[in-house]
Structure formats: C-alpha cells, structure tokens
Structure 1
C-alpha cells in the first residue's frame, strides 16, 4: 500500500529588491522540508489584480522566474517600517499567514516597551535634545547618539566628556573624529552631525574586552515548529581593536566560548541562562507590545566591567550572514520555515 504523500505547501519569502532573491532563496532551499515549495519575490512583483506573484524559483537544477498564485504563508525579509504590502497580502491569504509584518523598529519605542519589565537591564535612554545631552553627560561621561531607525552601527556617535573639559566625539572608533573645547561647541557639532534625523541618547556602558577588543553578545530568538519563542543560539562579535562598533567585526564565535574564557564554567553557564531568559522575555514583550506577528528577532547585550548585563538593542531583522561563519547553525534558516509550516496549519 502506497504511503499517502503530504500536501505541497507554497511559502513565499519577500525581499527588498531582485538582487537579493537568489542569495536569500539559496540559503533557505537547502534547509526546507520536501513538502514545501519555496519562492522569493519583491513587493513590486505582486500583481494585485490577478492575485499572482512573479517570483524566483529553483526547479530542475535551474533558477527560473515563474508566476505563482499567492502563497499560503509569507515570510517578510524586507527591512522596512511600512506594513502596507503585508496588510494587503493578509487581506487575501489570511491575517495569521504573514510574519515579521514590520521588522525595522523605532529604538525608543522598543526601549519604552522593554522598560516595563526589563528596566534593570536597560541603559538610560531618552530622545535627543541639547539640554538633555548636557545633563546626561554630567551623569554618565560617555553617551551614544543613535538614530531611532539605525542599523549596523550606521550614524552612531560616541560622546565622551574628559577630565580636561574637552568632549570627544567619535564614529565607529574610540579615537575622536572631533574634539570640542566645551559643551556649547559639542552641541553645535552634534546638531551638525545629527541633522534632522530622529536620534536618541543612550547611556554609555564600559564594556568588558578580550584581547583589547570590544565584543557583544547576540541572542537569536525565533519561533519554532510549535509557534513558541526559543533561543536558537547566542554568539559574540569582536570589533576591530580601537573600535566600539561590533557590526564592523573581525571574529564571530559562540558566546559560550567567550564567557568560559572569562569566567569559571559554572558562572559562564549562569550568564548564558540569564541571557536566554531575558531574550525570551524581550521577544514576548516586543511582540505583545507592538501587536505585530513576529517570527524572529535578535537581542544584543553588553557585559560591563562590573559583570552586569545590559540590553543594547533589539533587531527585527537579524543578520543571517553572521551565522554562516559558524558550524552547525542550520536551525537559523530552518526555524522560519518550520514556523511557516505551523502558521499553515493554524
């Protein structure tokens, strides 16, 4: 008696532009289940009148463009603040069939959400203005100016008040690009650098270092085949020497390796468990607070010289390229497809 085959399920991955389609699709095709048909598309390739999508597909060992009916589930990999396209798709395929509806977060809005339950792990963070900058500079000495919708450390400035009265302003590196003689001069320079972009001020954290390199701790939190948040991995990025931006990194490794180098195994394991617990709470808080259907996010931590953990930021579209350098990280790509399978049946 022949075994009954599973129904073929069609999932779509939405990306920002055609150049990304093949690169993204290749990563997920290698990890998909046999009963899943996968294609990649951009918002401009949706034909709303015909309710079809011109997407890239891999068939018979070839990359081909094919016109598909709307998929059963959509996984959004467009890094955007707009929800218009997702809302239109949901109107057709169902309100619970698209995930990562919006994945470019306002950092200050996320801070306010997290502060309701995770305040002890958050550095002081407020919207940027001249008066507040001067006040916080006295309290913390080191501040970070971050664009509310920034990513990969772009547009981030480090502002350090020195004992001499000088204020050093740097981008990416600890060495200053600009040295202000006093507070008014610093404020004038910051106004020039930040322009009309919405910025926030974040309290500086004195980071622990390994081999004179700053490192962070990133927990990747994804929903699994049961639709439940779980921590896929915890990794660390090492910045170049003299650099504070870990997005410009020289090395990536599992954080377990770093923590067990710095601490006895038992203490390192406690840190890792705390990181996992906080990350899960952060994911649940962000999803419930925003009302978005999310499938993954990453939580970035800093470990200071007093052995205190701080949540530096939450990213709505984790960089998957990080994990390609590490062995045995297939779950990074499998989990979104497993979650899509879950949404198909619920």
Structure 2
C-alpha cells in the first residue's frame, strides 16, 4: 500500500526590496519543515491579474527565481506596507492568512493603548509642544524627545536641566551636542531640529547600569504553533560606554545573565517573570488596539535604580540580527514558520 503523499504548502515571506530576499531566506530556510516551501517576494512582484508572485526560492541547492501561485500564508516583513496590499492579498488567499499586517507602530498610539491595562509600567508620555516640554522638564529634569514613527533610535534626543539652569541636549551620547543657557533657548534649538515631524516627549528614567553601561531589556513575543502569544526570549542590548542609545550597542546578551549579575538569583528570576507577564499583556493589548493581525513584536523595558520596570516602547518589526551573536536562538526564526503552518490548517 502506497503512503499518502503530504501536500507541500507554500509560505511567502514579503520583504521591502529584491536585495533582501536571499538574506532573509537564508535565515528561515534552516527552520522550515520538510513539507513547507518558502518563497521570498516583494509587493512590487505581485501580479494581481494572474494571481501570482515573482519569488525567490532555494531548490536543489540553487537559488531559483520564478513565478509562483499565491502562497497559502504570507509573513509580512516589510516595514512600510500599504493596508490595501494586505487586504487584496487576503481577499485572494483567505481571511487571516497574512500576519504582521502592521510593522510600523506610532509610539504615541501604542502608549495610549497600553495606558489603560499597563499604566504603572509606562513613563509619562505626551505629544511634543513647548508648554508640555517645559512642564515635563520641570518635573523630571530629564526627558527624551522621540519621533512618533522612528526606529533604531534615530532622531532621539536626551534633554537634561542642570542645577545651574543650563539645559544639555544630546543625541546617542550623554555628552551634550548643544548647551542652552535656559529652557526657552533649548526649545528654539529643538524646534530647529524637529522640523515638521511629529514627536513625543517621555519622562526620563534613572537607569540601572551594568558595568557603568546603560542596558535595555527586550522581550521577543511571537505566536507559536498553537496560535498563542508566547515569549521566545529576553535579551539585553548593552550600550557603548557614555551612550544612552542601546540600538547601536556594544554587545547583546541574555537578560538573565545581566540580572543575575546585579541581583540575587531569586530577585532576578522574579524580574524576568514580571517581564514575561507584562510582555504578553502588551502583545494582546496592541493587537487588539490596532485591529490588525500580528504574529510577533518586541517589548523594550528599562530598569531603574529602584528595581522598577518601565515599558520604553513596542516594536512591530523586531530586529532579528541582534539574536545571531547569541547562538541557540533558532526559535526566533522557527516560531513565525510554526505560526504560518498553524494558519494553513485553521
């Protein structure tokens, strides 16, 4: 009696441009199942009339570009994706078959969504204007000015009022790039720097440090083979000495190692458990609040000197490269494919 041949199902990974296709495919190929075909394509390579895509595939040890029928599931890894593109895709492949429908989050919108269930973990955050900035500086002495839709720490400014009344304005580093005589002079400089881009201002946190270096705590939250949100790992990016921007970091390590260096094991484990619990609530809240089908996100925390956790931001397109130097983190790439396989059968 012949064995029943299992159907090979196609998962499409949508990326921003053709140059990214081979790089992205290499990351995920090792994690696919034998009965899964992975094809990488861009939005511009969709042929709506023929209901097909021009995609890149690894076949028999070679890179092959050809035309494929639409995949059963699409994993969106584009940072900027038109909502209409995703809607048209789902109209053809089926409802709920395209995940990560929104990869670029508006930081202020996310703050408002989280402020109800997770208010105690959020630093005070308001949209930028001169009056609000002056009030926040008076209250906290340090504030961060961030673009609402920025990423990788680009365009983030740290503002600190010194006891002398001087105001130090810096980018990436604690050392100031500009020293203002007073708050109004600093605001004039900020107006010049920010232009017409929409910014928010966030309460400065008295950060806990590791070996005199700032670190963050990033929880990667992904849906698993059962379609349920779960925390894949928790890592820390250690900033270069003298820097506050962890996006351009000195090194990446497991947060467990950092916390156990700072605290007794029991305390470190309790902090990690809190991070996992808060991150899961954040993921559920953000997906519900955006009304878009998500499959992964990351939640960035800061830890202050009173051992209090603060949610700094939530990222809709987690930077995967930071996990590569750690080793043993294959789940980062495997989970989305497991979730894609789950969607194919549900």
Fold agreement, TM-score > 0.5: yes
Give TM-score, length-normalised by structure 2: 0.99
Task: Determine the structure 2 residue equivalent to 1:197.
Answer: 197
Shift of 1:2: 4.0
Mapped partners of 2:84, 2:131: distance in 1: 37
Instruction: Indicate if the aligned counterparts of 1:82 and 1:102 stay in contact, CA closer than 8 A.
Output: no
Instruction: Indicate if the aligned counterparts of 1:207 and 1:303 stay in contact, CA closer than 8 A.
Output: yes
Task: Determine the structure 1 residue equivalent to 2:75.
Answer: 75
Task: Determine the structure 1 residue equivalent to 2:288.
Answer: 288
Mapped partners of 2:81, 2:147: distance in 1: 14
Shift of 1:299: 0.2
Mapped partners of 1:130, 1:82: distance in 2: 33
Task: Determine the structure 1 residue equivalent to 2:255.
Answer: 255
Instruction: Indicate if the aligned counterparts of 1:45 and 1:55 stay in contact, CA closer than 8 A.
Output: yes
Task: Determine the structure 1 residue equivalent to 2:126.
Answer: 126
**Cα shift readout 1:100-159 (whole Å, capped 9, x = no counterpart):** 001100000000000010000000000000111011110010000000000010000000
**Cα shift readout 1:82-106 (whole Å, capped 9, x = no counterpart):** 3221111011111210000011000
2:328 is the alignment partner of 1:328:
yes
Shift of 1:42: 0.5
Please identify, of 219-228 and 78-87, the stretch whose mean Cα deviation from structure 2 is larger: 78-87
Shift of 1:81: 5.7
Shift of 1:6: 2.1
Task: Determine the structure 2 residue equivalent to 1:4.
Answer: 4
Give TM-score, length-normalised by structure 1: 0.99
Task: Determine the structure 2 residue equivalent to 1:62.
Answer: 62
Mapped partners of 2:213, 2:5: distance in 1: 53
Mapped partners of 2:150, 2:251: distance in 1: 22
**Cα shift readout 1:279-330 (whole Å, capped 9, x = no counterpart):** 0000000001111110000000000011100000000000110111112111
2:178 is the alignment partner of 1:178:
yes
Mapped partners of 2:338, 2:6: distance in 1: 15
Mapped partners of 1:245, 1:344: distance in 2: 40
Structure 1 gaps, min length 5? none
Distance change in 2, residues 1:62/1:246 (3 Å): same
Local SS of the residue matching 1:327: coil
Aligned pairs, number: 346
Q: How does 1:5-84 map to 2 (within 5 A)?
A: 5-80=5-80, 82-84=82-84
2:267 is the alignment partner of 1:233:
no
Local SS of the residue matching 1:325: coil
